[in-house]
Structures are given as C-alpha cells and as structure tokens.
Amino acid sequence: MAKDEASSIPLCIDLDGTLIRSDLLIESALALLKTNPLFLFLFPLWLLRGRANLKREIARRVQLDAVTLPYDARVLTLLRAQNLRPRVLCTASDHLLADAVAQHLGLFDEVIASDGTRNLSGDIKAAMLVQRYGERGFDYAGNETKDLAIWKWARLAFVVNGDRRLDSRVKKQCDVAQVMPRERPGLHAWLGALRPHQWLKNTLVFVPPLAAHLVMQPAVVARSLAAFAIFSICASGVYLLNDLFDLASDRRHPRKRKRPFASGQLPLTTGMVTTLLFTFVAFAAAFALAPRFVLVLLGYFLLTLAYSLYLKQIAMLDVIVLAALYTTRIIAGAVVIGIGLSFWLLAFSMFLFLSLAILKRYTELGVQRAAGNAHAHGRGYATSDYELLAALGGASGYLSVLVLALYINSTASELLYRHPQVLWLLCPLLLYWVSRAWIVAHRGTMHDDPIVFAVTDRVSLTVLVLGAVVALVAIR
C-alpha cells in the first residue's frame, strides 16, 4: 500500500481498558451511587431499555474529570506518533463521557460512541466501522475479546493490555502492528489495596481483655484473635469499597493518586468482586463466633459505608465518626469475650481517638496547603482551618489524659489494681506522647495515618513499653 494511501486510513482507538486503565461505565456508576445510593434501584429500570440507555442515564447525571483519568502512556505515544492520519476515538462508553476525554486530550479528529440508543460494542461497533471505512479500511486498537469482532475487518491491529491468549487469537485473523502487553499487578498492588498495615487498628479488640486482666485465659485469647481476623477481613473489604468510591478524590491527591484503583493498576471489577467476597466471609465468620458480634460488625460496616459515601465530607462530623469507629473495635473486643463495657474505657478511647482523627485531617490539610490548594478535595475543610484543627485536636488529646486521671482516682481502679497510685505515672507519659505527636505533625513529618506512626515510631514504642511496665507494677 502506498504511503499516501496508508496515511489516509484512520486509526480507531478504544477507550475503556485501552486508552485508559479503567472503565467509565463503572466509574460513572460509582460516582452516581456516591451522590445517592438509591440510584442503585433505578439501574435495572434503565437497563430494561438497553445498555446504551443505562450508560446515558448515568452519564448525564455525573461530571467526569477527564484530566486525572489513568491514561495508558503507551497509547498516548501511539496517538501522537500517528498525527498525520485521522485518529478516531471509538468506544462503547457514552458520548457525553467520550467527548470530555477527547476534548481534554486534543488528539482525536472524531468521536464515535454510544448515544443512548445504540450500544457501540462488539459486532455493532464492527458493522459501523466497516460501513464507514470499508473492510481493511481502518486500523483498530483494543484490549478485550469483544474486539475480535472488530479486528476481523481491520487492516492492522494494536493489541493493548491483552493476555497471551488474546494476542494469539488476534494474529489468526488480522495483521498485528503492535502488542502492548498487560502490566500484571504484583503483590505490592494488592497490599496497597487491602492495606494489611491498617489491620494494626484492629488490635484494639485486645484492649478489653487486657484491661480486665483476662489475657492469661487461652479461650479468651482465642476468641479475641478470631475477632481480630474477622475485623481485618471486613476492614480490607471496606478499604476496597472506599477506594472505589473515592477514585476522583484520590486522583487529585499527591500521594493517594498512586493507589491501585485510582492509578489503574487493578481493574475496578476485581475490586468490586473482592469487596463482596471479603464482606460475606467476615459476616459469616462473625456469626459463627458470636451472634452479638455480628451486630457490632454490622454497625461498623454501615457506619464506615456512610462515612465513605457522605459523612467524610462534613467537617468535624467526619473525625467524630472516625473516633467512633476506633471505639467500635473496643466494643467488639468486649462483646466477643462476654464482658461488660467500661464507661472509663469508652470515654478515654473516644477522646484519644478523636485527637488522632483530627491529627489525620490536620496532616492532610498540611499537604493541601503546601500544594497551594484552598480546600481539601472531597472533605469539608478549608486549608485555613489548619490552626484551628491543631487546637481542637490537642485539647481532645489532653481530655483523654484527664479521663485517665479521673479513672485512677476512682474506686473502679482499686478493684483491678493492687497499687492504683502507681498508675499516675501513665499521665505524664500520655501527656508527652500526645504533645509530641502534634509537634511531629506541625513540623510536617507525620505519617498519613497516626496509628501507623504510633506503632512504627521508636519514641512511641518506648512510651508504650514504659506504660506496660507501669501497669504491671500497679497490678503486682
């Protein structure tokens, strides 16, 4: 074929999974559900009128941020290199979303997409391209088995993010110009999504047996370990769900944009399936361990879901909810081993964890302020709230010390400790730790999660060991 003739053949590029490492239908559906979960009940009704109608109904209700989408750099390079011939964005995504992508990139001469009536996928897309350009009259870049119906009529194939089996099938029916192999997510991506380091928070289920001096009973330890495992599975499922709902916000964050789903390392469908699996396993195991534990876990799950969907956007309510979620783990620890809840322990945990939750927001605002942003995206805070949060968080931390002091001076401590007066040494230790944590945050060197900081910081671990020694001396 002559060079001039070849340069007139359009290059048609698929969008989902090819140009971007994501799926706009899933992203837009999640974005819509985040604004109002009740839309879920409308999805089947919209689908009754066809998949194209479902896509249009969702697309017209969401606003796509095309700037931050996880584009495949290899495909962008291909598009820029083929600037002497027509470049067409040809996608099954709705026109409203595809147009936003094309407008942002400025690399396409034309956009062909689903229009609310016709779902431009598979055989329908193939027939449309053949009708418009003729057999072997176009080149096509795609990524999945459905695209085989299109490659069958294409002149050249560009296979993007496919597996070896797909590559082999394409070569049997079309000349392959280039293969851009899928970058398989490694263990690091899954660890980033499941966040096992966050399981440290679930060690709070051991606080009630420790406070009640029951840790020497094997049955109590076994049940607490089971509760820890169940909470960890449930928490990982919630983290996955949170990341799926927070795609747009995470992509605007200097560090969170590298999360596996926001960056496109892991498919959104994989995240949805894993979320459902983890949640089912956690609740089934909780019911087997203790029926009452299911109620606590359900409360944790629903509160976390409400936080992810809406409450995290309300200033101050978000940190109170975070403190309540920490305290819920302590409640679960008491329920699992069948002991009563201590007023002192619950009050202490709420104030201490409120301080840490505010510390987390304070750290995030510091990052946003350093980036020159006036607001924290997806949160209810302005960067001008920075100093106020420091005052509120420090006060809450000091109130937890006051609660501890009142407990030591009460008759409740005399029932558990032979020398309760020794416990007074815990007060200066906690005062020092709370004050130092806020100084570290003020200097901009605090970890994103203060709990992770607490278990990795040498000074914090030293304070913890000293506190344990004080408690042991008080018992003896």
Instruction: Say whether both 105 and 214 belong to one domain.
Output: no
- Whichever domain contains 42, its CATH number is 3.40.50.1000
Same domain, 53 and 22: yes
Is 134 among the domain residues? yes
pLDDT beyond 90 at 342: no
Mean pLDDT, rounded, of the chain:
91
Report, as an integer, the average pLDDT of 344-368: 92
Q: What is the CATH number of the domain that holds 375?
A: 1.10.357.140
Alpha-helix runs per DSSP H in 195-316 = 207-211, 218-245, 247-251, 268-289, 291-309
Over 60: is that where the pLDDT of 444 sits? yes
Do 331 and 241 fall within a single domain? yes
Instruction: Confirm whether 415 is domain-assigned.
Output: no
CA–CA separation, 327 and 354 (whole Å): 10
Residue 135: the pLDDT is 93
Residues 6+ apart with CB under 8 A from 114: 51, 52, 55, 56, 91, 92, 93, 94, 95, 120, 121
pLDDT at 177: 93
User: Is 459 part of any domain?
Assistant: no
Q: What is the pTM of this model?
A: 0.83
User: For position 378, what pLDDT does the model report?
Assistant: 66
Mean pLDDT over residues 99-114, rounded?
95
Q: What is the DSSP string of 213-231?
A: T-TT-HHHHHHHHHHHHHH
Residue 377 and residue 281 share a domain: yes
End position of a domain, from candidates 404, 433, 452: 404
Q: Residue 357, Cβ neighbours under 10 Å: how many?
A: 23
Is 290 a domain residue? yes
Last residue of a domain, one of 354, 379, 404: 404
Question: Within this chain, do residues 56 and 165 fall inside the same structural domain, yes or no?
Answer: yes
Question: Does 102 reside within a domain?
Answer: yes
Render pLDDT for 269-286 as a digit per residue (tens, 0 to 9).
Answer: 999 999 999 999 999 999
Same domain, yes or no: 56 and 130? yes
d(CA 368, CA 372): 6
Residue carrying structure tokens 């109590």: 220
Q: Has residue 141 got a pLDDT over 60? A: yes
Is residue 434 assigned to a domain? no
Here the tokens at position 158 are 């560009």
Q: Are residues 223 and 337 in the same domain?
A: yes
162 and 214 both lie in a single domain: no
Split at pLDDT 50, 70, 90, the class of 267 is very high
Considering only 46-60, 71-85, 437-451, which range has the smallest mean pLDDT? 437-451
Same domain? For 237 and 363 the reply is yes
Q: What is the pLDDT of residue 377?
A: 66
Let me know whether 172 and 250 are in one domain: no
Is 187 part of any domain? Answer: no
**Cα torsion angle, 244, 245, 247, 250, sign:** negative
How many independent structural domains does the chain possess?
A: 2
Q: Assess whether 327 and 276 both reside in one domain.
A: yes
What pLDDT does 6 receive?
58
* Domain, as residue range, for 275: 193-404
Nearest C-alpha neighbor of 108 from the set 141, 138, 85, 74:
85
The answer to whether position 422 is within a domain reads no
On whether both 200 and 57 belong to a single domain, the answer is no
Encode burial over 101-131: b for 16+ CB neighbours within 10 A, e otherwise: bbeebebbeebbbbebeebbbbebbbeebbe
Q: What is the pLDDT of residue 308?
A: 81
CA distance 45 to 276: 23
As a whole number of angstroms, the distance between CA 338 and CA 319 comes to: 29
CB 399 within 8 A of CB 430: no
* 2 confidence band (pLDDT: 50, 70, 90): very low
Kindly state the DSSP code that residue 426 receives in the 8-state scheme: H
Domain boundary among 404, 430, 460: 404
Q: What integer is the mean pLDDT of 436-445?
A: 92
